[in-house]
Amino acid sequence: MYLPNKYTKWYNQIISRALARADINEYTEKHHIIPKSFGGSNRKENLVKLTAREHFICHRLLIKMVTGPLQIKMIRAVWRMTVKGRDFQNRFQPNSRTYEYVRLQFGLLRKGKITPDHVKAKISKANKGNTAWNKGIPRTSEEKLLMSQKRKETAKLIGAWNAGKSHSNETLNKITEKAKSRIKYTCPHCIKEVAGSNYYRWHGDNCRSKQP
C-alpha cells in the first residue's frame, strides 16, 4: 500500500516512537495507523496517540506515501486539519508557507488540475532519453529579468507571504555564507558536487545519469 520511500520511513519512525512511549502530559489526538479511508479499522492495534504536531506531520507524510485516489483522500484530510476543529480540539497550526502549500494543493484538487499517475507515466515515457533544447545554453540577462518578473507576478497572484519583498544585502550575505558552509556530496553517477537535500532528491540512487 505504502511506497518504499523516505516519507514512509519517517512515518513509521513517528508511529513506533509514539507506541513505545508512556502517556504524555499534553494534548493528544488519536491517529489511525492505517487510515480509515484506506480500509483501516477502529481496533486498538490500529490506533496511536500523537501530539497535534505529530498528527499533522503524519498526514502530510501520507500524501507522499501513496498515489492515485489514496493520495487525493490524504490531500483532503490534511486540508480539513488546517481548519478549526471542535471546541475541545487544540489543532496544530502550521506556518504560513505550509498553509499556503496545503491550500494550493487542495485548490488544484478541486479544479481537477492534479495530474493522474497514468498520465504522468505516459509523459515520463515520452520524454525519457530526450534532452531539453536549451540544456547547456546560459540564460541571457533579458531572459533572467523576464523570469524574475513572472515569479513576482505569480507570488502576488497567489498571495505569497514574501510577495513584493526583497532581501537586504546583509541577509543576502548570510544566505551566501550559509550555502557555502553546507556539506556537499559527490554523485558517483554524474560526478557533480551537490549539497544535502538536493543530493538525496536528484542524485545518488535517483541520479538520471545512471539510467540507460
Render pLDDT for 88-123 as a digit per residue (tens, 0 to 9). Answer: 677 888 887 888 878 888 777 766 666 666 667 777
Grid coordinates given for 139: 540564460
- Residues of the chain falling short of pLDDT 70: 84-88, 110-119, 157-164, 209-212
Could you tell me if residue 89 is left (phi over 0), alpha (psi between -120 and 50 degrees) or otherwise beta?
beta
Grid coordinates given for 47: 490506533
pLDDT tens digits, residue range 131-148?
A: 777 777 888 899 889 988
Per-residue model confidence (pLDDT) at position 117: 67
- The helix (run of H) or strand (run of E) holding residue 28 is strand 28-32
Per-residue model confidence (pLDDT) at position 85: 63
pTM: 0.52
The rounded radius of gyration (Å) of the Cα atoms in the chain is 21
Grid coordinates given for 159: 498571495
Per-residue model confidence (pLDDT) at position 130: 74
Per-residue model confidence (pLDDT) at position 115: 63
- Residue 109 contacts residue 77 (beta carbons within 8 Å): no
Per-residue model confidence (pLDDT) at position 40: 93
